[in-house]
Structures are given as C-alpha cells and as structure tokens.
Amino acid sequence: MLSESGAPSFWAQDTKQGALRHFPVKYGSDQLWDLGTPTTVASSGWDARQRPRMAVVGDVNGDGSSDVVTSDRSGELWLHPAAADGTLGDPTSLSSSGWSGVAFF
C-alpha cells in the first residue's frame, strides 16, 4: 500500500484490541524498517473473529485514496473505503459469499 506521499506503508491488525493501524515507513534512516508513529484508522471491529483476512488493495472506489478489502469467516467480502480524515468509512459488502477459503497476499 502506498501512503499519501507515494511511499510504501505498513498496516497492522491488532487482534486483541480489535483495531487497525497504519504505520508510515520512514526512509533515510540507518534501519531497514523504520516505522513512523502509527495512526489508528479503525478503533474496533478488526479482531481475528470479525476480520480474519485482509488485503490492502489500493484505490478500489476511484476517489484517489487507498481502501481496504476484507473477508469474514462467513465468506462475505467487504470494501472499507478510506475516509477524508484518514480513518476507514463504513464497510460495503462486495459479495455475500464464496470468500471463506481465499487468502489475500
């Protein structure tokens, strides 16, 4: 996934707290992976039971911001559009079934 600056970034799912966090990658340091201060883009709804699989796929809805697509345990596929404030908007179902055995890379 690319950040607003066009540089790659890192997303992490906190399965204990149920949060989704975005970490910018800081370039120009001596460390291979120097992650910046994380931003919580969703404070709940991201525990392992609710969203066990996810992929950051870029701008799915054409608004210029990177969106997140997930599947839940029932096999439903969800689009989580990026909101203007850097969080994620309300999810929209893309497909009601058939995605339970799919792993995103």
CA–CA gap between residue 29 and residue 67 (Å, rounded): 28
Distances (CA, A) of 54 to 8, 27, 34, 46, 80: 17, 25, 23, 10, 10
Q: Supply the pLDDT for residue 7.
A: 60
Average pLDDT along the chain, 105 residues, taken 10 residues at a time: 59 81 75 76 77 69 84 83 84 85 61
Q: Supply the pLDDT for residue 32.
A: 63
CA–CA gap between residue 27 and residue 74 (Å, rounded): 39
Which of 85, 8, 99, 96 is CA-nearest to residue 43?
85
- Tens digit of each residue's pLDDT (9 = 90 or more) over 35-50: 778 888 888 887 766 6
- Tens digit of each residue's pLDDT (9 = 90 or more) over 87-96: 888 889 988 8
Q: Supply the pLDDT for residue 97.
A: 85
Indicate the Cα dihedral angle 48, 91, 95, 8, nearest 10°.
Answer: -70
